[in-house]
Amino acid sequence: MYRAVGDESYSWEALQPHFKRSISFTPPRDDLRFKNASAEFNVDAFSTTAGGPLQVSYANYANSFSTWMEPALNEIGIGPTQDFNSGSLMGAQYCASTIRPESQTRDSSQTSFLREASGRKNLKVYMTTLAKKIVFDEKKRATGVVVESRPFGLFEYTLKAKREVIVSVGAFQSPQLLMVSGVGPRVELAKHKIPMIADRPGVGQGMQDHVFFGPSWRVKVETLTRIANDPLFVLGEFAGQYTLKKQGPLTNPVCDFLGWEKVPRELIPKDTSSILDGQFPPDWPEVEYLTAPGYVGDFSNLFTTQPKDGYMYATILGGLVAPMSRGTVTLKSADTKDLPLIDPKWLTDPIDQEVGVALYKRLRQAFASKAMKGVLADTKEYFPGPDVKTDAQILAVIRNTVQTIWHASCTCRMGKRDDQWAVVDKEAKVIGVDGLRVVDASSFALLPPGHPQSTVYMLAEKIAAEILWKNHGKTSA
């Protein structure tokens, strides 16, 4: 990443304090989990003194299907690893989650950072308020934001900035807000008659995302299928196990076991292998495996589409984490009330198609492993079924069932100031104007192969520390 940005402060070693600053880590309660579902971890990946308000831990319950997926992945060559928080993803292991260990509820930026800061005099939160446009002066300096508040009628007014404006509305709406304010590709702005402040052709371009898909089987262990189909069971679990003991399946975030690897080279063409090897470093995985204890199909609705035939179902999802395809975010209109137009362009690059087909074959290998035999309720793949055999048939299934892992990023990409496609520089400052930054997944220089939640927090911590140092000569507040 530091090569793309041109700054050593973005090296792995330099970023460690910023990764650690947000988090308070609590080890797993393995005494409450299945004996064959112990979660390994590296305590050195977290700070014991400087941790922030965001709680990271493990559920008090491991999915039953995960205890079968673990040896299956090991058998096909994806060996165990200690953790996914220390800089290496290769291998398989239970993953940590942003979960409050005492209550076994999800932790978020709202329940951690915002709740902790809620009493500060220098914080004012505007509820049900939509940012309409960034205001610039004649020197192209951001001086405020025009907003609209609801619900009691429409109140449009300007929030003025003493120092700078920081945009953080995500991979889709950060580029939208820049463009409606006059910062973006010249042609796109002209199309919507938006006066141009800065011609930045990279705004809304080069979107990177991870996607996943996978086959489903009938299994002999309890899965999400029962939770979706048996409301009395859910009520009993909520009233008993969850509410009173903070235990049971309702404490689990569903995808609790993961694995990463390079695609076995015998499953892809040599030319594809050469391109991937030249594009990504040796420790960058190309595919991810995610436990999904239930029927997935085409992701239309995971609760209403669970089969009601008396069987339990389980899926192993495969994710593409070295995508070559690039999407776009453009405008529907010059008004932020109209959501932007998103063209993710998933699987448009032939390499993603070839890797996707190879990944599907690996998912099937895991289900065909000796380790998996004891949990399968029958010998026939339920979805998409054994009739899907050829590469063309597999690719068609992938195209019809592909879903985002919600990792969209890079639409206001960080880069060197002389890079015409970069939108922000190493300090997250928008190039071509003053007093404006973008700090969220849209301003990533690249999308890392792991789940980017921690990278979002890291980037925010890094930029916040630099702002505090510049304005006050200190690195924490």
CA angle centred on 106, ends 100 and 110, rounded to 5°: 95
CA atoms within 13 A on the CB side of 78: 30
Taking the C-alpha atoms of residue 146 and residue 166, their distance in angstroms, rounded to an integer, is 14
82 a known binding residue?
no
**DSSP notation for 218-271:** EESS--HHHHHH-HHHHHHHIIIIIIIIS-SGGG--S--EEEEEPPPGGGS-HH
Residue 303 to residue 229: CA distance in whole angstroms:
8
Is 451 among the catalytic positions? yes
Catalytic residue among 18, 192, 210, 407: 407
Does the annotation list 249 as a binding residue? Answer: no
State yes or no: 469 annotated in a binding site.
Answer: no
DSSP state for residue 150 in the 8-state scheme? -
Distances (CA, A) of 74 to 35, 67, 82, 271: 18, 12, 13, 28
Return the ∠ at Cα 410 (arms to 82 and 341), rounded to 5°.
125
Q: Which of 18, 210, 451, 472 is catalytic?
A: 451
The answer to whether the CB of 257 falls within 8 A of the CB of 63 is yes
Q: Quick check: 467 and 196 in contact, CB under 8 A?
A: no
Q: Is 210 annotated as a binding residue?
A: no
Tell me whether residue 474 is exposed, middle or buried, using C-beta atoms within 10 angstroms of its C-beta: 0 to 12, 13 to 18, 19 or more: exposed
Q: Helix (H, G, I), strand (E, B), or coil: what is residue 82?
A: coil
192 assigned to active site: no
HEC readout, 368-432: CCHHHHHHECCCCCCECCCCCCCHHHHHHHHHHHCEECCCCECCCCECCCCCCCCCECCCCEECC
Q: Which two tokens stand for residue 435?
A: 């007093």
Give every CB contact of residue 288 below 8 A, 6+ residues apart in sequence: 210, 212, 258, 259, 260, 318, 319, 320, 321, 449
Give the CA angle between residues 308, 314, 320 to the nearest 5°. Answer: 130
Q: Give the C-alpha separation, 160 to 264, whole Å.
A: 55
CA distances from 39 to 27, 62, 70, 344 (A): 9, 9, 11, 35
The whole-angstrom separation of Cα 13 and Cα 301 is 42
Residues belonging to the binding site are 406-407, 452-453
Residues belonging to the binding site for FAD are 406-407, 452-453
Catalytic center residues: 407, 451
